[in-house]
Chains A and B, each alone.
Chain A
Amino acid sequence: MASGARTLHHVPSALFGAWRSLGAEALNWVRREPQRKSAWLWFLLLPSLMLHAPVLSAASSGVSPPLSHEVRVAAIMGGDFDACLADRNASVWRPCIARRAGARHSTALRDALVAARRRAVRLARVGRLSAAARALRADPPAPQTPAVDRKARGLLPPAVPDLATPASIKAGFPAELARAAEHGRRSAVPAAVPCDAAVLTIRTAPGGSSPGPSGTRMEHLWVLGEEGRDALVSVVLLLTGETAATRVPAVATHALAGADLLLLSKPGGVRETGLPGLRPIGMPEALRKLDASALAATVRSSAADLLSPGQLGVGVPNACMRILHELGARFAHHPGDAVLQLYFKNAFNLVSRPAAEAVLHRALPVLTLIFLWAYGGGGPCVFGWAVDAAAPPPPQGAGSSLSPAPPADGSSPPLPRWWLRAERGAQQGDPFGPLLHAAAMWLVLERLRADHPSVVVRAFQDDVVVVGLPAALRGVLDAAARLAGRIDANLAPTKCVG
């Protein structure tokens, strides 16, 4: 499924009728028989089989030309799936493919600029103007080299034995967990995601976003007919409910939890290691995004009630502005106060999952099931770029290269991709990730607020500011470093600004 094949942004006219029929059929099959692995496999395979975009290669590269859309439809409706699979595999870009000659593809820089502009235009067409502006100013992708691969593995480190456990969290933060449980008893969050929330999530999902490993895009799901949309709502509800844990096979939930990983170069150029700073961007499955968004919408206000006023990173509009105004008012009344800004290194990728689970299980039990299937089983996989057969093998650890099975017709399979398991922290790109991180961090913030009542502690996710008398801030810094260690966060005191 994680073939690396690009899929079309919109369903073309020639594929429209067939996609609506087969998409609805695939979703209905999943809805009817969620316990069937082949139903999930077909649902995840269909978009790339049918909607893959052929790579623009030179005619002399020895590769047979791609199938036209009409021929692709005829093959798949006629049961000749192997022809579509071979065509899809041939459409995966690989380094040995010679690009089409011509002045339009002169330099890599020009390619990157054109790609950024095209992406910006696509986003503007669907009304996402802020995202379009970000696309124009986006950092360039990091070079796809083994050295960058190794550095990326350092950003997503494997689990080690001395990490926080449910027992250590329970022993370390008893008062905070009791408060979370009390919130769960008082909360009016429904026990399951309402149908209306799922419908609204599907309807308002942002267009133009990147597809996940299977290539499914929101635009592909929106064009499904009435029957397909009903089935989609049912499947989203199915994955947010108890069925996901009891009937859906683990291999299917594991596939749905996977994400493609894009590495961008941070501004600042090459560091002393000879490599740029990396900004990992995760691109999960569209269905996973819908599930997490529907759940997040259901619990948002209750989560904001629990986490605020210490943590304003979830469900609080204009949170940064609120923090600024509050700090301004504090300084007006206490001119002798100082500010301490805490810096947590690689916060999202390292934060303790047992800590987040302990809070969310008590305060928002509706999230327990998605937490189980999305982060259980050793953690979700993230897929990097295709690696050449001549490339050196990846280091021993959480991941390796993924070699797809050779096709039955003897055609060339797609190149293997490197992958790894995200065994710690919130998965990049997960809509549920900010809540997971905020829930774990809330334990530390609440303890700081309780132990140091004279200071003001406010946070927007991992950006924590503390305001108080300078004499008190030293103790806060020491306590923050000690408490952060209990949730596997890594406070860097030398980078904290005071």
Chain B
Amino acid sequence: MPEDAGAAADGVRGGVDAAEARNAAACATATTPGVCPAARCATWLSASLVDQPSLIHLRSAHVTSELPAAVVAELGLAPCRWCSRPYWAVRGRFGQSSLASHKAQCRLNPRGRCRGRKGAEVNGAPPPPRAPTASAAPVAPSAPADLFAADPSAWALAGDAFLLRVGPAGAS
């Protein structure tokens, strides 16, 4: 933006100023038509950001991290846990936010297919192996501990040895 160019000799301070200016401009467009506030997006939004057409553009063309924090806070948006797209997190008149209703239907939601059953807890780490029972599938002959987290270099070495065995000659 023109006011950012050469605004400060200090590069860091200049960057902060630019971000603040962009946030301020984005907040101004929240109630008036304007250019989409997302980084590197030049789409003209004919309605203000609080209106449905603009919200549809934001969630169909951007993920939340591409939007200025001020806009996200101003509009009450939050990222979907699965697809990271911005949805309205404020409860509507039916008692459910658009974020909550979207998350249940998100096509990236791995639990969407077994809705109604007790879904497994999904988190960043893999779940521990289940204890074998008479009806359960057999455990691998020598199922070791989580080497990937405990000793990444040993895990990588095991992976290299495996790739050497299964790959074509000279795949190392």
Chain A positions within 8 Å of B, measured between CB atoms, are 10-18, 20-22, 37-38, 41-42, 45, 64-68, 70-71, 73-75, 77-83, 85, 125-127, 196, 207, 219, 222-223, 226, 251, 405, 407-408
Additional 18 contacts, C-beta under 8 A, given A17-B124, A17-B125: A37-B167, A37-B172, A45-B163, A67-B138, A70-B128, A70-B130, A71-B138, A74-B129, A79-B148, A79-B155, A79-B159, A81-B158, A83-B141, A85-B162, A85-B166, A223-B82, A223-B108, A408-B166
Closest to A18 in B: B126
Kindly state whether residue B73 has any CB partner on chain A within 8 Å: no
Partner of A16, one of B113, B122, B163: B122
Partner of B113, one of A10, A20, A126, A223: A10
**18 pairs, A vs B, C-beta closer than 8 Å:** A18-B126, A20-B124, A21-B126, A37-B167, A45-B163, A67-B138, A68-B137, A71-B143, A74-B144, A77-B155, A78-B143, A79-B148, A79-B155, A82-B162, A126-B107, A207-B107, A223-B110, A251-B171
Instruction: Report B-chain residues with C-beta under 8 Å of the C-beta of A83.
Output: 140-141, 143
Q: How far is the CB of B78 from chain A (nearest CB, A)?
A: 16
**A-facing residues in B121-157 (Cβ within 8 Å):** 121-130, 136-149, 154-155
Contact between A41 and B171 (Cβ–Cβ < 8 Å)? yes
Kindly state whether residue B93 has any CB partner on chain A within 8 Å: no
Instruction: Report B-chain residues with C-beta under 8 Å of the C-beta of A14.
Output: 120, 126-127
Closest to B140 in A: A83
Q: A71-B129, A73-B127, A78-B144 are in contact. Are A37 and B122 (CB under 8 A)?
A: no
Contact between B147 and A77 (Cβ–Cβ < 8 Å)? yes
* Interface residue total, chain B, C-beta cutoff 8 A: 52
Closest to B139 in A: A71
Instruction: Report B-chain residues with C-beta under 8 Å of the C-beta of A81.
Output: 158-159, 162
Partner of A65, one of B84, B129, B138, B160: B138
Closest to B164 in A: A38
A77 to B158, CA, bound (A): 11
Binary contact track B86-114/A, C-beta < 8 Å → 1, others 0: 00000000000000000000011011110
A38 to B172, CA, bound (A): 5
Closest to A81 in B: B162
A118 to B146, CA, bound (A): 37
Closest to A38 in B: B163
Shortest Cβ-Cβ A-B pairs, 8 listed: A78-B144, A79-B158, A83-B140, A74-B129, A13-B120, A18-B126, A81-B162, A68-B137
Closest to B66 in A: A199
